[in-house]
Amino acid sequence: MQINCFREKLSLPALLLCLILNGLTGNASPARAKGSIRADVLLGPCSWPAAQGPTGFDDDFTNLAINGRLAVALGGETDAPGTVIFKNSVQNMGPDDDVFNISAPSVPSGLTVEISTDFGEHYNMLSSQGDYLAVPLGYRTSATFLVRVTARRGLRTLTGFDTILRATSTRDPAVSNDTIDRLYTGFVQLEVKARPIDTSAVSDIVSAPPGTEVEFVITYRNISSAIGLGSSLLTGYDIVVKIDGNAAPNNWGRTSEHIVGASDNQGGYISGDREGSTCLSSEVMILGAGKSGVFKFRRRIR
C-alpha cells in the first residue's frame, strides 16, 4: 500500500477580525528508537515514523486544524462539527516480519477517531476502550495509513486536542511506539489593543478628547506546537487580518479619522491605509509554528 504524503492546504477563518489562513507544512529529520531483540517499531507522521517530539520518540506529532468555515467568536466555541484526515506511517524495525496493532489509547472527549489502511475506502473505529487494527509488515518495511478525526461542535476554539496513537508488536507486546495526531480548533490567535499616543494627557481612549491620536495594535500568533524533529508542523499561508471600524462592536470608523502610516512587522501587504479609510487589512504570506506578528495603525478622535 502506498499513500502520497503531500501537504494539504487548509482554510480556517475566524470572526471579529476576519482571519483567513490556509496551508500546513512539516519538517523532517531521521532518528532512531530502541526496541527489543525480538521486535522494534516506529510510528510517526507520514513518511517520518522516526520523528521526535519535545522529549523523544513517543511524543512526536502531526498537527492539523479543522477546515471549513467555522463561524465562531474569538475565544468561544465551535458552532459546527469538523473533520480532518491525518496521515501516519508505521515501520517494522525488528529482526523479522511482524504484525503491529494500531490503537488509540487516548482520545479526547468530543472527538471520534477512525483508521483506514485502504486509501479511505473503509474506516474502522478506534476508541480508548481497546479497539485496534492489525497491520502486517515484512522485515524493515513500512506502511502509511489514514486517521480520520471528527470533532463535535461546542469545542473550545484555539485549542489543540491530542489523540495518541500506538503501534504495538505482536511478536513482543512490550514493544510499542506512540505518536500524536493533534487537531486544532483554529491555530492563529488574535489580540487587539488600543491606546492613546499621548499618555501624559490622557490614560485611556474612553476619556480621550477630540484630536487625540489612538494606536491600534493587532498581534497575531501561530499557537501550534513547534518543537519536534521530523514532526509535522502547522504553518499559516496567505493570512489576511482585517478589521472594520463600522462592524459591531467597533464604532471607531464613525468617531475617528485614519492617519496614514500603517505597518506590519512581518512585511504584510496592507490595504486601506489611506485618508478616509474605515477598514484596514494586512495580508501575510507565511506564519510559521510558534511565530507571531504585529499589525499597527493610528486614528485621530473627531
Please state whether the predicted TM-score (pTM) of the whole model is above 0.95: no
pLDDT tens digit sequence for 185-204: 999 999 999 999 876 666 66
User: 21: pLDDT confidence band, cut at 50, 70 and 90?
Assistant: very low
How would CATH label the architecture of 188-301?
Sandwich (2.60)
Cell numbers for 33, please give them: 528508537
Cell numbers for 120, please give them: 479511505
- Residue 154: alpha-carbon gap to chain centroid: 18
| Cα–Cα nearest to 24, from 55, 83, 66 | 66
Which CATH code for domain 20-184?
2.60.40.2310
62 forms beta bridges with: 181, 232
Which residue spans of the chain are classified as CATH 2.60.40.2310? 20-184
Angstrom distance (rounded) from CA 184 to CA 73: 15
pLDDT tens digit sequence for 62-111: 999 986 444 455 568 888 899 999 999 999 999 999 999 999 999 999 99
